[in-house]
Amino acid sequence: DTGVSQNPRHKITKRGQNVTFRCDPISEHNRLYWYRQTLGQGPEFLTYFQNEAQLEKSRLLSDRFSAERPKGSFSTLEIQRTEQGDSAMYLCASAGPGTGELFFGEGSRLTVL
């Protein structure tokens, strides 16, 4: 069990560029979550998948954000036309069947200049 893996750990980009983050969940986990966290705040729900199906996406999430989980394994989160307000830690978590207990990766920190 290698835990939840996220890449890259840090990304610095210029405003207007696109960025993509990858998350590899714990192998037997069927659910995968994306959260965004800024300093002093709790994780903000973005979206979650059960296997390859995206079951819910936050209403607060603009159309610039998209997530995929092809074949129900790893997931990618893409942010298009980044803005300075997108600077945050992007956390991925996975959970096993029938449980809501989340296991988090170490996060991908995005800085938009």
Partner 1 sequence: QKEVEQNSGPLSVPEGAIASLNCTYSDRGSQSFFWYRQYSGKSPELIMSIYSNGDKEDGRFTAQLNKASQYVSLLIRDSQPSDSATYLCAVTYTGGFKTIFGAGTRLFVKA
Binding site for partner 1 (CB under 8 A): 31, 33, 35, 40-45, 48, 50, 55-56, 91, 95, 100-107
Tell the smallest beta-carbon distance from residue 50 to partner 1 (Å): 7
Tell the smallest beta-carbon distance from residue 17 to partner 1 (Å): 25
> Quick check: 24 and 104 in contact, CB under 8 A?
no
CA dist., res. 69 & res. 58, Å (int): 16
Cβ closer to partner 1: 80 or 109?
A: 109
Tell the smallest beta-carbon distance from residue 80 to partner 1 (Å): 24
Tokens of 96: 């096993």
Cβ neighbours of 49 (radius 10 Å)? 21
Tokens of 18: 């696109």
